[in-house]
Chains A and B, each alone.
Chain A
């Protein structure tokens, strides 16, 4: 069966520090991968998606970047965090690009102080 792992679960970082959130998927090949951000328990904002290794599409220009160094690994990064980067970050995968169920990780609660 397929599983998705996302870590860390919680993170408190000072303004200006770097960020690296990691997501890995097991039990499937060539998944479509996504990073979403959710503010204050509300809707999910799509940040990045990837349909293959090294292929990253950005939905919203901002202080973040994403990379996919391996087929089932998706990383969200920042060189210098801003207060506005605080939120709940969710990694997800799907079999087909946007057409089928998205399976979500447990999320990372990021607080920038």
Chain B
């Protein structure tokens, strides 16, 4: 069973549009992380959220951790082609990070 469910799986939008992707679980996490991965490369950390209800901003990206620490969202404002990639959320289970299946985002000019 998948510990972290991400939606949507695929998203294709035009430059300038806004979007939100979601990461949901039935389990409580002490923290959740968001990574971005480009084709043929390893994932790179964008942010870690720790406190329930926490909101973090990274330029045009806004990350929110649910109050119950079971879910998180990533909102991108005015998407650009450079935002194209696979967005993965991850939570700690035992000794290692467990990842969702990701949201594949394509932003076209």
Contact residues of A with B, CB < 8 Å? Answer: 32, 34, 36, 41-46, 49, 51, 57, 59, 90, 92, 94, 97-102, 104-107, 109
**Complex CA–CA separation, A45 to B43 (angstroms):** 13
Could you give, for residues 1-26 of chain B, a 1 whenever the CB lies within 8 Å of some chain A CB and a 0 otherwise?
Answer: 01000100000000000000000000
Known: A90-B42, A104-B43, A109-B40. A97 touches B88 (CB 8 A): no
> What's the A-B contact tally at a CB cutoff of 8 Å?
67
- Mind listing 12 A-B residue pairs with CB under 8 Å? A36-B99, A42-B86, A43-B99, A43-B101, A43-B102, A44-B88, A46-B99, A51-B95, A98-B97, A100-B48, A106-B40, A107-B40
Contact yes or no, B96 A49, CB < 8 A: yes
Is B44 on the interface with A (CB-CB < 8 A)?
yes
**Complex CA–CA separation, A82 to B44 (angstroms):** 30
B107 vs chain A, min Cβ distance (A): 16
A51 vs chain B, min Cβ distance (A): 6
Contact partner, B96, options A34, A43, A106, A109, Cβ 8 Å: A34
**Complex CA–CA separation, A65 to B42 (angstroms):** 21
| Chain B residues whose CB sits within 8 angstroms of the CB of A41 once the complex forms | 39, 86, 104
B53 vs chain A, min Cβ distance (A): 20
| Chain A residues whose CB sits within 8 angstroms of the CB of B44 once the complex forms | 104
Please name the residue on chain B nearest to A57 by beta carbon: B95
| Chain B residues whose CB sits within 8 angstroms of the CB of A101 once the complex forms | 33, 45, 48
Is B56 on the interface with A (CB-CB < 8 A)?
no
Contact yes or no, A32 B42, CB < 8 A: no
Contact yes or no, B96 A99, CB < 8 A: no
Contact yes or no, A102 B45, CB < 8 A: yes
B27-56 at interface with A (beta carbon < 8 Å): 30-31, 33, 39-45, 48
